A and B are shown apart, each in its own frame.
Chain A
Amino acid sequence: MPDTKYLIVGSSHAGLAALEAIRLADAEGSITLLSKEGSLPYSPTVLPYVFSGMADADRVFLREDDYFKQMGVDFKRGSAVTELNAQKGQAVLETGETIGFQKALLATGARPQVPKIEGLSDCPFQVLRTLADAKALKSGMESARSAIILGAGLIGMHAAESLCEAGLQVTVVEMAGRVLPGYFDAKASGMIKSIFNEHGVKLLLGSPVTHVVANHNGCGVSLENGLDLSADMIMVATGVIPNWECLENQGIDGAQGVLVDDYMRTGLKNIWAAGDVTRSKSFFDNSPTYSGTLPMAVEQGRIAGASMAEDPGVKPFPGAVPLNTYSFFGNRSFSVGQAMATASGKKTEVNLIHIPSSNSYQKLVFNADRLVGAMGINSELDPGVLWRMIERQVELGDVKEAFAAKPKEIGRLLMNNLWR
């Protein structure tokens, strides 16, 4: 007999969402939840706020011990899995301990990707993916006067802001031509960039790094354009790679993310996967895509849990939608769907509002009768309403004009009606 009916490897958003979905359909089945961390579950997304001081490192946990008792879940901390064997239905822990399972969910997330840059591995650098990283970054920041951040994605930009607020001289180096290239168009990125510049953060865009050297006061970074930079600390925030290795040697390749189907099945017998460890189909073109966002982890976790528990109400994954919110220096922004699109042909229409005086920007992208993307900086729109309008492919028909004119009000009204 297996030791547990459901084994969930990883206790962040995807794992917890799956756990709740399982309990909705199966009140009794044994659930074992593993975390490689020694702490209660937490979200990697909260970490920038931990080292900025906004969040108290002792109060960031997503669930308390009582919760697992109430849910009838065996929560094992400090349990890193080295092998999740589909054939044997068995997980092997780092400690050598084994756990048999009927069904397993891989929700191990991802870890920082360290680019292959000459000299980088010989230089002490910071990353941000675990609580330990956040604490190390915080203490490193205290003795530093300047910092170089490689990568202008969400982690890099969050770190830049916190380090800047802490009084450091901050330089962000990004290979792409703009900040947050995954979420914002040139206009919006430009606005974000100028706000960072106003606060004294230097952003070097379109600047590939050639090599890094450790020097007497920290490290030096040389760019392809010939510029040499130097700072007390260096942080690498150039993306993530999935923690998929426990599935190695079983005939699948998860280096770019473990590919899952519409029910989060991996193709390996009785093994599901959800969250940052996966690649799943894109909502817009069905091509395999890596999301790596918190909301997608929740969506996938819920589906995986329902599918594992054979919930008759399980709905297939509609596909990954790129989306996020981002707050910086008292400003707020969001991006949902095909927000980067530009107007083309008859089908794709773009509706733009830019008010420089209030630093606000709003963009709606339509494909024929449907909303397919939206973006906002200091905009009053409800990103959640827009996401679900996109996902449900709401045909706007004769409401389109009214929606384009009053997207906040009409969007709310439409979702209100759809709910009934």
Chain B
Amino acid sequence: MGRSYHTIAFDAQKCNGCQECEKACAQAKAGVTDLVHSRIKVSPGRKEGEWGLALCRQCAQPLCVMNCPGGALSKDPVSGVVSWDESRCVGCKLCTLACAYAGITFNQATGQVMKCDFCGGDPACVKSCERGALQHLTGSDIYNEWGDLEDLFVPGISACLGCNSELLVRHTLRRVGPNTVVATPPGCIAGVGAVGVNGLTATKTPVFHPLLTNTASMLAGARRYYNRIGRDVTMLAFAGDGGAADVGFQSLSGAAERGEQIIFICVDNEGYMNTGVQRSSTTPYGAWTSTTPVGSVLRGKTRDAKPLPIIMLMHNCEYVATASTAYMEDYYQKLEKAILAAKKGMAYVHVFSPCPTGWRLPPARLIEAGRKAVQCNLMPLWEYESATGDMRFTHPVDNPLPVTDYLSMIGKYRHLSAEQTQHIQEHADRQVDLLRKFMQQRMDLAV
């Protein structure tokens, strides 16, 4: 398998041209603040306030390397960094002709070419950017660490185009591994073939199809049986919001209270999507569903969503977290903790799961919707660990975007009035405030 590499991402919208990154680079690379030594270059644009960036992209097939007649440039197969060997450089500058992005440039002060070397893995420019316009993306680690593991979900399942649940199940099973019993109650995941068609299942682990009402209790029973015969087998539920917050709630609540050793993943797509997009208790206020229609009187759902993650927080679970496939590294870290926690008691993970079909969302924008939901504080990412009593935001959002940035992407909110939007904004603010208070409270208790 090939490798995947870290990268530096640039968000032009957030850049104000302060050149702190250039100063940090010159300082890191030459020990001086003279910007002539900076490998990263902010370029003024056509209009006031428009900024571009010239920086080595550490290309997969670097043309500078291929065009170097002296063998002075090479790509490190482990770090992915394209490095320059001064002792082999003949000064021909063909690399500056090969690079389309001014990623390797001539330094007037030294009379040599220079390029970004990623500061050995901890780029100084990124740390200097207070506005977050530069980000050091490390998501490739997931691929490098887990990419060789077997995909335990078969190809060819009948999920809708761009289905978030498929992405989630593939990643989760890969990480949790084959020593697992999976329960998927009625819902999309069972419906796409996870529990089988004509006697064949789509998971390469044992899987069963409990009722919508008894997922947690059946899984608890299976776990107790394995415990009795002395086998440590992971119990994993993929239930929709219906199977967790509504119909499946009493068995989930009971299992959590009893401390059953299971991982319960609620795949929250905010409604009954596989049966025709009906409302559930986690459908947000204002959302269109087939049972909360939009007409002259009704304007989508009239009640706020049930805050199931917070309710589960009150259940003495070993571990409770919210997650999103738009923040995959965060999800992997939480999965790691959930696997360990489920050896002692219940690990509950609530995954925000945009649904292209039921939400009227273009599949290509699914991950973007997941990101925006977090950035607007509509789906704050947090976790609670009973072992330490620690509760924290895993992706704190200091300057949240307005909820309209998220709502305007999605068809089920197209009809919203200003008042409804206002309601959603206030609700989001209240929820985050409530979470903060919980975190504060727990810290007070710890002191």
**A417 and B100 contact, CB distance less than 8 A:** no
**B92 and A382 contact, CB distance less than 8 A:** no
**A45 and B102 contact, CB distance less than 8 A:** no
**B52 and A412 contact, CB distance less than 8 A:** yes
Tier of interface size on chain A: 35 or more
**A417 and B70 contact, CB distance less than 8 A:** no
**B92 and A49 contact, CB distance less than 8 A:** yes
**Mask of B418-445 contacts with A, CB within 8 angstroms, 1/0:** 0000000000000000000000000000
Say if the beta carbon of A187 comes within 8 Å of chain B. Answer: no
Give the Cβ gap from B416 to chain A, nearest Cβ, in Å: 31
Give the Cβ gap from A5 to chain B, nearest Cβ, in Å: 21
Contact of B66 among A298, A334, A417 (CB under 8 A): A298
- Residue numbers in B under 8 Å from A330 (CB-CB): 111
Stretch at the interface among A16-24, A126-134, A164-172, A203-211: A16-24
* Known contacts A55-B70, A327-B91; A415/B100 CB under 8 A: yes
**Mask of B51-68 contacts with A, CB within 8 angstroms, 1/0:** 011100100010100111
Give the Cβ gap from B135 to chain A, nearest Cβ, in Å: 15
Say if the beta carbon of B98 comes within 8 Å of chain A. Answer: yes
Q: What is the chain A residue whose CB lies nearest that of B90?
A: A49
Say if the beta carbon of B290 comes within 8 Å of chain A. Answer: no
Question: Once the chains are docked, how many angstroms separate the CA of A355 from the CA of B81?
Answer: 38
Which A-B residue pairs are the 10 nearest by beta carbons?
A413-B52, A43-B69, A45-B69, A49-B90, A388-B100, A382-B102, A46-B69, A416-B52, A384-B99, A325-B93
Say if the beta carbon of A343 comes within 8 Å of chain B. Answer: no
- Residue numbers in B under 8 Å from A417 (CB-CB): 52
Q: Report which A residues bind B (CB closer than 8 A).
A: 13, 16-17, 20, 24, 43-46, 49, 54-55, 59-63, 294-295, 298, 302, 323-325, 327, 330, 332, 334, 336, 380, 382-385, 387-388, 399, 402, 406, 408-413, 415-417, 419
Give the Cβ gap from A14 to chain B, nearest Cβ, in Å: 10
Question: Once the chains are docked, how many angstroms separate the CA of A294 from the CA of B70?
Answer: 12
* Known contacts A20-B61, A61-B71, A409-B44; A416/B101 CB under 8 A: yes
- Residue numbers in B under 8 Å from A323 (CB-CB): 97
Say if the beta carbon of B106 comes within 8 Å of chain A. Answer: yes
- Residue numbers in B under 8 Å from A43 (CB-CB): 69-70
Q: Report which B residues bind A (CB closer than 8 A).
A: 41, 43-46, 50, 52-54, 57, 61, 63, 66-71, 87-88, 90-94, 96-102, 105-106, 108, 111
Give the Cβ gap from B240 to chain A, nearest Cβ, in Å: 36
Q: What is the chain B residue whose CB lies nearest that of A413?
A: B52
Give the Cβ gap from A188 to chain B, nearest Cβ, in Å: 16
Contact of B43 among A49, A332, A409 (CB under 8 A): A409
Q: What is the chain A residue whose CB lies nearest that of B105?
A: A382
Contact of B101 among A13, A49, A384, A399 (CB under 8 A): A384
Total A-B residue pairs with C-beta atoms closer than 8 Å?
A: 129
Question: Once the chains are docked, how many angstroms separate the CA of A14 from the CA of B46?
Answer: 38
**B67 and A13 contact, CB distance less than 8 A:** yes
Known pairs A302-B61, A302-B66, A323-B97 / 11 extra A-B pairs, C-beta < 8 Å? A20-B66, A43-B70, A45-B69, A294-B69, A295-B94, A298-B66, A334-B93, A384-B98, A385-B101, A410-B45, A417-B52
Would you mind naming 10 contact pairs between A and B with Cβ atoms under 8 Å apart? A49-B90, A55-B90, A59-B88, A327-B92, A380-B108, A383-B96, A384-B100, A385-B100, A409-B45, A419-B57
**A412 and B97 contact, CB distance less than 8 A:** no
- Residue numbers in B under 8 Å from A380 (CB-CB): 106, 108
- Residue numbers in A under 8 Å from B93 (CB-CB): 325, 327, 332, 334, 383
- Residue numbers in A under 8 Å from B66 (CB-CB): 13, 16-17, 20, 298, 302
Contact of A413 among B43, B94, B106 (CB under 8 A): B43
Question: Once the chains are docked, how many angstroms separate the CA of A324 from the CA of B70?
Answer: 16
Question: Once the chains are docked, how many angstroms separate the CA of A415 from the CA of B101?
Answer: 6
Question: Once the chains are docked, how many angstroms separate the CA of A103 from the CA of B99?
Answer: 30
Question: Once the chains are docked, how many angstroms separate the CA of A388 from the CA of B63?
Answer: 12
Question: Once the chains are docked, how many angstroms separate the CA of A387 from the CA of B97?
Answer: 7
**A412 and B43 contact, CB distance less than 8 A:** yes
Q: What is the chain B residue whose CB lies nearest that of A336?
A: B97
Q: What is the chain A residue whose CB lies nearest that of B50?
A: A413
Q: What is the chain A residue whose CB lies nearest that of B44?
A: A409
Question: Once the chains are docked, how many angstroms separate the CA of A325 from the CA of B95?
Answer: 9
Contact of B70 among A13, A46, A295, A332 (CB under 8 A): A46
Which among A55, A334, A410 has the greatest number of chain B C-beta atoms within 10 A?
Answer: A55
**B67 and A294 contact, CB distance less than 8 A:** yes
**A45 and B94 contact, CB distance less than 8 A:** yes
Question: Once the chains are docked, how many angstroms separate the CA of A382 from the CA of B100?
Answer: 8
Q: What is the chain B residue whose CB lies nearest that of A418?
A: B100
Q: What is the chain B residue whose CB lies nearest that of A46?
A: B69
- Residue numbers in A under 8 Å from B105 (CB-CB): 382
Q: What is the chain A residue whose CB lies nearest that of B77?
A: A70
Contact of B54 among A16, A387, A406, A416 (CB under 8 A): A416
- Residue numbers in A under 8 Å from B111 (CB-CB): 330
Question: Once the chains are docked, how many angstroms separate the CA of A148 from the CA of B87?
Answer: 31
**B61 and A60 contact, CB distance less than 8 A:** no
Question: Once the chains are docked, how many angstroms separate the CA of A332 from the CA of B185?
Answer: 70
- Residue numbers in A under 8 Å from B100 (CB-CB): 384-385, 387-388, 415, 419
Question: Once the chains are docked, how many angstroms separate the CA of A382 from the CA of B63?
Answer: 15
Which among B46, B69, B91, B93 has the greatest number of chain A C-beta atoms within 10 A?
Answer: B69
**B96 and A412 contact, CB distance less than 8 A:** no
Question: Once the chains are docked, how many angstroms separate the CA of A406 from the CA of B44?
Answer: 9
Question: Once the chains are docked, how many angstroms separate the CA of A134 from the CA of B15?
Answer: 50
- Residue numbers in A under 8 Å from B71 (CB-CB): 59-63
* Known contacts A384-B99, A416-B52; A45/B92 CB under 8 A: yes
Give the Cβ gap from B302 to chain A, nearest Cβ, in Å: 41
- Residue numbers in B under 8 Å from A55 (CB-CB): 70, 88, 90
Question: Once the chains are docked, how many angstroms separate the CA of A268 from the CA of B403?
Answer: 63
* Known contacts A383-B96, A388-B100; A298/B63 CB under 8 A: yes
Q: What is the chain B residue whose CB lies nearest that of A334?
A: B97
**A324 and B91 contact, CB distance less than 8 A:** no
Question: Once the chains are docked, how many angstroms separate the CA of A413 from the CA of B54?
Answer: 8
Q: What is the chain A residue whose CB lies nearest that of B87?
A: A59
- Residue numbers in A under 8 Å from B54 (CB-CB): 382, 412, 416
**A325 and B97 contact, CB distance less than 8 A:** yes
**B46 and A410 contact, CB distance less than 8 A:** yes
Give the Cβ gap from B40 to chain A, nearest Cβ, in Å: 12
Give the Cβ gap from A61 to chain B, nearest Cβ, in Å: 6
Give the Cβ gap from A219 to chain B, nearest Cβ, in Å: 30
- Residue numbers in B under 8 Å from A384 (CB-CB): 96-102
Question: Once the chains are docked, how many angstroms separate the CA of A295 from the CA of B95?
Answer: 9
